[in-house]
Structure 1
Amino acid sequence: MPVAIITGASKGLGRALAAALAGRGWDLVVDARSAGPLEEAARELRAAGQGAGRGAAARVVALPGDVVDAGHRAALVAAAGELGGLDLLVNNASVLGAEPLVRLADHPLEGLRAALEVNVVAPLGLIQEAMPLLRMSSYLASYEEVVPHANSTLGGGGDNNGRGYDSHPNIENVRNAGSSDSPPYIGTGGAILNISSDAAVEAYPTWGGYGAAKAALDQQSAVLAVEEPGLRVWWVDPGDMRTDLYAAAAPEDDPSGRPLPATVVPGLLRLLDGGAPSGRYTAAATPGGVSSR
């Protein structure tokens, strides 16, 4: 069965995506900084895997720890190897750098360093550790695609994911695949999903530190996609969600109108199902909606 590593999986989007994958029969390696909430999530994930049609619960390895720790990152990859390999790496763990968020003139520099360490340095460290396993993955079928990058909106909202998703948004160029001057883009390895934010591309007051870290993650992802054409590299803005992270960022906001993280998951699954080309994607958390940050 396919194997995924998901960081920050004890709550929010990480936990919701892990539950969906477990329900599909994926084996999982999950982490979070707090052992108690992570083990609670792991029990839920194993239960979700009961109905995956494999006769047993999904194998779930829960490793508490901090992604900034190189030893912890190595342990996550080693656990995936023991499960049989690695097909999907989800860099979801994140910190704000300041809670609540503040203007750049008042932003603590130590907080900015922490945001860069968790949101940029640690994901690359985990990618580097996992690269041999990801390159060996054969989960995603090969296909020809001249344009290796996409910039698209994922449908969201509801289990049926009502908005359509075009896995080949540049289809008009595909007819040239294989010609002498347009070598085909062949992806045969695994996938990397980096969770980004609209704050990476928009200038929102008080979101400067966090947004700068996510912007760096976006650029890092784009370069990685060029350097590793055999992998799928997706960096996704999930839109506004009702999460603890957002509550910490803006405690004065009323969270009741924000969609739950589970509403974003169908769009993320479409990336896997469609073997989507590497690129930046925006998941609209409500039908026809527009994400903000």
Structure 2
Amino acid sequence: MNMTTSARVALVTGGSAGLGLALSRALAEQGWQVLTDGRTEERFADAALPDGVTAVVGDITDAEHRAHLVAEVAARGRLDLLVHNASTLGPLPMRPLAEVDVADLQQVWRTNIGAPLVLTSALLPWLGLADGVVLSISSDAAVNHYEWWGLYGASKAALDHVTLTYAAETGLTAYAVDPGDMRTAMHQDAFPGEDISDRPLPESVVPQLLALLGTRPPSGRYRASDLAVREAS
């Protein structure tokens, strides 16, 4: 296994919009080669991806798509950063746990925890070669209990656990980061008809994520708001 590029390589899932797109742009501006994915070509049509970002169209729950992502990493011979950002709220409108069934659970679980788990496993050789970082985008719903957020919150709690267990088992640096509320399409889906213009844009979280990657503290669960305080002190 040989590195074919001296540039740092990142794979950011769910990079056609929101935080994934903002982080992909920022990494490319810093000279990274960035791979990202999204479900359809149309989702990337308005993304205005900069040079240095390669979009791979597909669904992260699809095994052939994941194999395509692994092949793209293998062609570059290294992976310095794996970001699990692709996510789903599940069936909409969101409902209390008493009204969901196993099929609903499977839909959320496959995207939010199943795909990240097996994709990380497939990419361990390249992460290990580059002493890479695994960064999973979590949520405060992983540790708090909000009405109607049960399926999503449980999946994010599981993602936190799997991410940090990978760190324990492999020695890689791994983070689960709660970015806080953001003004994204997914957040709007959670609050249909409500004005969410008071939420910060996802671009506001990127400096904290870059600071985390730059300082590389011990593996663990972090809140972006706490990282901002540390940078300001």
TM surpasses 0.5 = yes
Do structure 1's residue 200 and structure 2's residue 142 form an aligned pair? yes
Do structure 1's residue 216 and structure 2's residue 222 form an aligned pair? no
Q: How does 1:1-293 map to 2 (within 5 A)?
A: 1-41=7-47, 43-46=48-51, 58=52, 60-137=53-130, 189-229=131-171, 231-284=172-225
Q: Indicate conservation of the 8 Å contact 2:137/2:178, yes or no.
A: yes
Q: Indicate conservation of the 8 Å contact 2:15/2:38, yes or no.
A: yes
Query: What's the Cα RMSD here?
Result: 1.7
Change (3 A) 1:115 1:211: same
Query: Where does the alignment leave 5 or more consecutive residues of structure 1 unmatched?
Result: 47-57, 138-188, 289-293
Q: How many residue pairs end up in the alignment?
A: 223
Query: Where does the alignment leave 5 or more consecutive residues of structure 2 unmatched?
Result: 1-6
TM-score, with length taken from structure 2: 0.91
Q: Indicate conservation of the 8 Å contact 1:4/1:29, yes or no.
A: yes
Structure 1 residues 89-130: Cα deviation after superposition (integer angstroms, max 9, x where no partner):
011000111212111111243222111110001001110111
> Helix, strand or coil: the match of 1:258?
coil
Q: Which amino acid aligns with 2:26?
A: A
Measured after TM superposition, the shift of residue 222 of structure 1 is 2.1
Change (3 A) 1:79 1:95: same
Give the whole-Å Cα distance in 2 for the aligned partners of 1:256 and 1:17. 21
> Helix, strand or coil: the match of 1:61?
strand
Measured after TM superposition, the shift of residue 212 of structure 1 is 0.7
Give the whole-Å Cα distance in 1 for the aligned partners of 2:120 and 2:158. 15
Give the whole-Å Cα distance in 2 for the aligned partners of 1:245 and 1:216. 20
Question: Which structure has the highest helix share of the two?
Answer: 2
Q: Indicate conservation of the 8 Å contact 2:88/2:108, yes or no.
A: yes
Q: Which amino acid aligns with 2:142?
A: A
Change (3 A) 1:45 1:108: farther
Q: Which amino acid aligns with 2:143?
A: V
Give the whole-Å Cα distance in 2 for the aligned partners of 1:281 and 1:29. 24
Give the whole-Å Cα distance in 1 for the aligned partners of 2:45 and 2:66. 18
Q: Indicate conservation of the 8 Å contact 2:89/2:108, yes or no.
A: yes
> Helix, strand or coil: the match of 1:102?
coil
Measured after TM superposition, the shift of residue 286 of structure 1 is 11
Q: Which amino acid aligns with 2:24?
A: A
Structure 1 residues 247-292: Cα deviation after superposition (integer angstroms, max 9, x where no partner):
111213311100000000000001111022211010129977xxxx
Change (3 A) 1:214 1:83: same
